[in-house]
Amino acid sequence: MKTLTIKSESGRINKVRKLIRSVGNQIGSVHFIRRSDGKLRKMAYRLRVQSPTYATKPTGKRFLQKKERDEANLQITVFDVNKIRRDKNGRMCGRGDWRTIPLENVRRLCVGGTIYRVVSNS
């Protein structure tokens, strides 16, 4: 396990963003603290998902605005591959949904078979 210890928060956020984007179309995993309730969340994710079967693909002007909002709010939008989708009767109909990762709260990353532990020096 490699440990990322970068003193400045902006440098740490940029390194985490770069590592998350380096996964590309492969599956990676991330552990982070949720902003809403402070609980640890573990997620397997993918980037560059072109046409998900059950989740609607973000497109057009709203997608570009979301990308700008993500940059401003220090987060990144990924495709959660383990999210269970249910139909209106409650039966499982597929997997996958779009989720947002807060970059400042990332604690652990698994990218290309290498595990990174992210340590904040603040």
Q: How far apart are CA 62 and CA 3, in angstroms?
A: 36
The string of pLDDT tens digits covering residues 109-120 is 999 889 999 887
Please give the angle made by the CA atoms of 104, 108 and 111, to the nearest 5 degrees. 110
State pLDDT tens for residues 51-71.
676 666 666 666 667 666 777
What pLDDT, on the 0 to 100 scale, is given for residue 25? 85
Distance of CA 34 to the CA centre of its chain: 11
For residues 106 and 30, give the distance between their C-alpha atoms in angstroms, rounded to a whole number.
7
Task: Tell me the pLDDT of the chain averaged across its residues.
Answer: 84
Regions in the chain scoring below 50 on pLDDT: none
